[in-house]
Structure 1
Amino acid sequence: MPTHASATRDPAALLERTLHEWGGQQDLWIFGYGSLIWRPDFPFAESRPATVHGWHRALKMWSRVNRGTPECPGLVFGMLPGGSCRGVAFRVERTQVPAIFPALWQREMVLGVYDPRWLACRTPGGPVQALAFTLPRSSPSHTGVLPEAQYRSIFRQARGIYGSTLDYAETTHAELLRMGIHDRALARLLDIARGAADAA
Structure 2
Amino acid sequence: MSDFWVFGYGSLMWNPGFDYLRAERALLRGAHRSLCVYSWVHRGTEERPGLVFGLDNGGACRGMAYQVDAGIWPDVLAYLRAREQTTMVYKEHHHHIELDSGEKVEALVYMVDHGHRQYAGALPLEEQLEIVRGAVGKSGENPEYVINTAAHLDEMGIKDSGLAWLSARLRDLPED
* Partner of residue 135, structure 1: 112
Contact preservation (8 Å) 2:89, 2:119: no
**Is the aligned partner of 1:175 residue 2:175?**
no
Cα RMSD (Å): 1.8
Displacement of 1:38 after TM fit?
Answer: 0.5
Shift of 1:170: 0.4
Gap runs ≥5 in structure 2: none
Aligned residues: 175
Check conservation: 2:34, 2:122, Cα contact below 8 A. Answer: no
Runs of 5+ consecutive residues of structure 1 not aligned to the other structure:
1-24
* Runs of 4+, deviation exceeding 6 Å: none
| Residue 42 of structure 2: aligned partner | 66
Do the aligned partners of 2:147 and 2:170 also contact (CA within 8 Å) in 1?
no
After TM superposition, the structure 1 = structure 2 runs for residues 1-200 of structure 1, keeping only pairs within 5 Å, are 25-123=1-99, 124-194=101-171, 197=173
SS in 2 for 1:66: coil
Q: Distance in 2 between matches of 1:70 and 1:109?
A: 16
User: What is the alpha-carbon distance in structure 2 between the residues aligned to residue 192 and residue 151 of structure 1?
Assistant: 11
More helix by share: 1
Counterpart-to-counterpart distance in 1, 2:4 and 2:175: 46
Contact 1:81 1:136 in 2 (8 A): no
Q: Distance in 2 between matches of 1:152 and 1:128?
A: 36
> Equivalent pairs: percent with the same residue?
37
Query: CA contact under 8 A between 2:39 and 2:50: conserved in structure 1?
Result: yes
Cα shift at 1:151:
2.7
- Please give the TM-score of this superposition, normalised by the length of structure 1: 0.81
The one-letter code of the counterpart of 1:173 is A
**3-state SS, counterpart of residue 137 of structure 1:** coil
For the residue of structure 2 that corresponds to 1:95, the secondary structure is: coil
DSSP 3-state at the match of 1:177: helix
Q: Name the TM-score, length of structure 2 as normaliser.
A: 0.91
| Amino acid paired to 1:168 | Y
Q: Which has the higher strand share?
A: 2
